Structure 1
Amino acid sequence: MNRQKFQIYMKKLAAVDDTLEKLGTPKTYRKLHMLSRRVIIGWIVYILIIDIYNIMWWSNNLKQVSWGILLFPIMNHSTHINEFTDLIFIFLLWYIGVRFDKTNDHLHGLLLKEEHGLKYMWKKPVVIRGYFLHRHNYKRTFWTSMHLHLKLCHIAREFNEIFGIQIIFEMVQFLGNLTSICYYIWRTLEQKHHDHKKLLLNFFRFSSSFFARLIRLYAVNHICESVKNKANNIDKVIHQLTNTLRYADIWKEIDFFVLHVMQHPLKFTGLGFFYLGNQFLQKFFTTIVTFVIIMVQLNVHSYSDTYN
């Protein structure tokens, strides 16, 4: 079901590109193809490094290379799939953010006459990023841009819903993993370890795992915050059009659009349980610190007890 829904909204996103192309924004599919290939190659290199490092750790600690070669790729398979799904989600939201930028550029173009000191009528066409803005087609530009903005918001919400279950389980997993890793690092720094080599190896292993999860957590929330701001700040640009008598005949449409954006702002959630973004990151790390303090007070056993 989600696969069919994903394909439908990918086609709708392609339709947005077709509409933007008619307004003068060229498609960048070749650049996107090259970028996606680089991302996939980088992801493959990353998972190879992680698996090789885990196999080396297994062989150094348990002296069983044959089992490690088979065990860690199988154990890490689900993690790598989740990482790849995160890359797809981040890449899609990034591209939607780029489309928001292009749509906003066309709306900014309606205010270009203010920058050029022109008055209420254009005597000549004004070139705006590859297309001509005549004094008679500003309505088409505004209505098309408004439609594209609403369509992009709808597509972003649907992609958020498609990846919603993964986001929930991933954030819960991050909370548990990062909390346990932070507590392990604290126990490692607190205790005196006789085997400094093993201590350094284990510390590096869990620290690398901590930063890998931290980067994924930050990337997902950062792209959600960025796209949300691009979508919701458009009302400020649109509202400036109401200060120009040139657009007096579409003031009602402008007010309606601004009101709609303000009442239905774009937000990214984990199926409605929490909102993704900078505030979520702050609450997330506050929760981790709280859990670690509780575990310290209760003196909970950690990974360090296993390797000591």
Structure 2
Amino acid sequence: MFQPKTMHEMIKPLIVANFVLGMGVWSKSRQKIWSVAYSLFCLVSYCVLMKLTIDYLQVYYLNKVHPLGNVTFKAIFYANICLALCLVPSGWWRRKHMKAAMMRITMCEKTMEQMGIQKNYRKFYLDQLYALVFVAVVFVVFAAINYEGMFTQETPLHIKIILVLAVHYPVGLLYVSDVSFLHWVRYSKIRFEQLNNLLQRMLTTTPDSPQHKRVLKMKDEWNKTFITSATQQDSRSKDNTDTMRAVKQVHLELIKSTRSTNEAYGIQILFSMTISFVFITSLLYYAYSIIWVNMNAEMFRREMIPLVGWILFYASKVLIINHTCALASIEAANTGDIICELYEPSTSKEFRAEIRDFTLQLIQNPLIFTACGFFNLDHTFIHGVIGSVTTYLVILIQVGDLQKGNSTLLNNGTNFTTFNTLTTDIYQ
């Protein structure tokens, strides 16, 4: 089985997946020209597919109502076009941030190797493969769900191929971009977790022996153990001080590298979260409208299955991305709790000074994921999306019912006026 030894070998699945879809510009420098050329080829090919698709839909609208003619799905279609046209060029902007992040990550890896922390490159490599296989399976299922409602029986084969590629290419771009971003978020989370485990091994307090009991015990046995253990305690204190200093440095570099990856994917995350919020609200309102429309079971199934698929697609993006970012931020913040437990009177002045500096560093450099600085990516954003979607959905339902009521009153008023006019004419 393949055993990656370097960082570049570890992220090989992501490099290949991004390159195939035309977003591999942030790979090695000597591959930059070929990556840019291939990205331009993918972008031009996609624009040609979009032109053929739009021409086909415009011709088809002259005679029949196509399933893609629905306003909501047309909005999704054109929004995905705009998003795809932004994601591919964003790879060129992303490259400089990823280069800075990779330099910091390489420095962290060397320091952590000296500290005895395992690299786990194989685990990261397998996680990428599993994630990409999952994306491929979801992509195929998603295409199969939308395939039935996308065409009629007389649609030519070449038109089917063009429509499938045009509609689902942006979906592939979004999934691979999300997997790439989440890989670096999970990488930072695992590294912070390893650092926290290293610090926890330095703890001497337990629930059975809290700090105040240890201080009293140390005072009672000070004269007995001072001579025999002074040298051993000095050596242990120096080792702990060096470890704390190294952990502090690695922690800061990890936060800076994670910020660089966040900046690299900031545009993608901003567009993705915004479009997801808008379409979750629109699709739920459209589903509400379908439920109250009298249609047979076959038509209801053809309308609802693609609708549920798109809702799950956008909702899963919001939930998974924000939940993973929140876990990484929480793991980075947990370091502060651990070092506060390490701050004991029995430790040396140098060790306590390192803890104070580390605490100040954590306050000044918190790990926060943002979408280009517009909003934070965490559990609070999930709560906000749920509340906002519910609020706007209620407003849309009320406005829709109000319009239906006004139309009914208007029709009744028109009929009443017509009745009065006819009655007057008869009597005259």
**Band of TM-score, shorter chain:** 0.7 to 0.9
Partner of 2:195: 103
Whether the 8 Å contact between 2:186 and 2:324 is mirrored in structure 1 is yes
C-alpha deviations, 1:180-214, integer Å up to 9, x for none?
11101111222222x21110221121112111221
Cα distance, 1:103 vs structure 2? 0.9
Partner of 1:259: 360
Q: 1:84 aligns with which of 161, 171, 176?
A: 176
Partner of 1:175: 277
Q: Distance in 1 between matches of 2:153 and 2:274?
A: 31
Q: Distance in 2 between matches of 1:122 and 1:164?
A: 53
Partner of 1:51: 143
Partner of 2:372: 271
Q: Distance in 1 between matches of 2:276 and 2:337?
A: 36
Q: Distance in 2 between matches of 1:170 and 1:122?
A: 59
Q: Which runs of 5+ in 1 are unaligned?
A: 126-132, 302-308
Cα distance, 1:124 vs structure 2? 7.2
Whether the 8 Å contact between 1:232 and 1:262 is mirrored in structure 2 is no
Cα distance, 1:163 vs structure 2? 0.9
Runs of 4+ displaced beyond 3 Å = 113-125, 133-136
TM-score (norm 1): 0.86
**Aligned ranges for residues 12-23 of structure 1 at < 5 Å?**
12-23=104-115
Cα distance, 1:229 vs structure 2? 0.7
C-alpha deviations, 1:137-177, integer Å up to 9, x for none?
11110000011111111111111111111111111110111
Cα distance, 1:258 vs structure 2? 0.9
Q: Distance in 2 between matches of 1:100 and 1:44?
A: 30
Q: Letter of the aligned partner of 2:367 in structure 1?
A: L
Whether the 8 Å contact between 1:122 and 1:135 is mirrored in structure 2 is no
Does the C-alpha gap of structure 1 residues 135 and 249 become closer, same or farther in structure 2, counting only changes over 3 Å?
A: closer
User: Equivalent residue of 2:119, what SS?
Assistant: coil
**Aligned ranges for residues 209-228 of structure 1 at < 5 Å?**
209-228=310-329
Q: Distance in 2 between matches of 1:36 and 1:297?
A: 45
Q: Distance in 2 between matches of 1:228 and 1:247?
A: 30
Does the C-alpha gap of structure 1 residues 122 and 164 become closer, same or farther in structure 2, counting only changes over 3 Å?
A: farther
1:31 pairs with 2:132 = no
**Aligned ranges for residues 220-239 of structure 1 at < 5 Å?**
220-239=321-340
Partner of 2:27: none
User: Equivalent residue of 2:372, what SS?
Assistant: coil
Does the C-alpha gap of structure 1 residues 242 and 134 become closer, same or farther in structure 2, counting only changes over 3 Å?
A: closer
Q: Distance in 2 between matches of 1:248 and 1:70?
A: 70
Partner of 1:158: 260
Does the C-alpha gap of structure 1 residues 198 and 138 become closer, same or farther in structure 2, counting only changes over 3 Å?
A: same
User: Equivalent residue of 1:136, what SS?
Assistant: helix
Q: 1:189 aligns with which of 291, 303, 306?
A: 291
Q: Distance in 2 between matches of 1:10 and 1:198?
A: 52
Whether the 8 Å contact between 1:164 and 1:271 is mirrored in structure 2 is yes
Identity %: 21
Does the C-alpha gap of structure 1 residues 123 and 223 become closer, same or farther in structure 2, counting only changes over 3 Å?
A: farther
Q: Which runs of 5+ in 2 are unaligned?
A: 1-92, 219-225, 404-428
Does the C-alpha gap of structure 1 residues 123 and 205 become closer, same or farther in structure 2, counting only changes over 3 Å?
A: farther
Cα distance, 1:7 vs structure 2? 2.8
**Aligned ranges for residues 124-139 of structure 1 at < 5 Å?**
134-139=236-241
Q: Distance in 2 between matches of 1:122 and 1:284?
A: 58
User: Equivalent residue of 1:276, what SS?
Assistant: coil
1:208 pairs with 2:309 = yes
Answer with 85-94 or 23-32: which moved more.
Answer: 23-32
Cα distance, 1:123 vs structure 2? 7.8
Cα distance, 1:263 vs structure 2? 3.6
Partner of 2:418: none
TM-score (norm 2): 0.63
Q: Letter of the aligned partner of 1:153 in structure 2?
A: I
Q: Letter of the aligned partner of 1:82 in structure 2?
A: L
Q: Distance in 2 between matches of 1:26 and 1:122?
A: 32
Aligned length: 291
Cα distance, 1:276 vs structure 2? 1.1
Cα distance, 1:297 vs structure 2? 1.9
Partner of 2:397: 296
Q: 1:240 aligns with which of 341, 357, 382?
A: 341
Partner of 2:249: 147
Q: Letter of the aligned partner of 1:19 in structure 2?
A: T
Cα distance, 1:15 vs structure 2? 2.6
RMSD: 2.5
Q: Distance in 2 between matches of 1:165 and 1:180?
A: 23
Q: Distance in 2 between matches of 1:275 and 1:79?
A: 24
Partner of 1:199: 300
Q: Letter of the aligned partner of 2:155 in structure 1?
A: Q
Partner of 1:9: 101
Q: 1:68 aligns with which of 147, 160, 164?
A: 160
User: Equivalent residue of 2:347, what SS?
Assistant: helix
Q: 2:134 aligns with which of 24, 42, 49?
A: 42
User: Equivalent residue of 1:211, what SS?
Assistant: helix
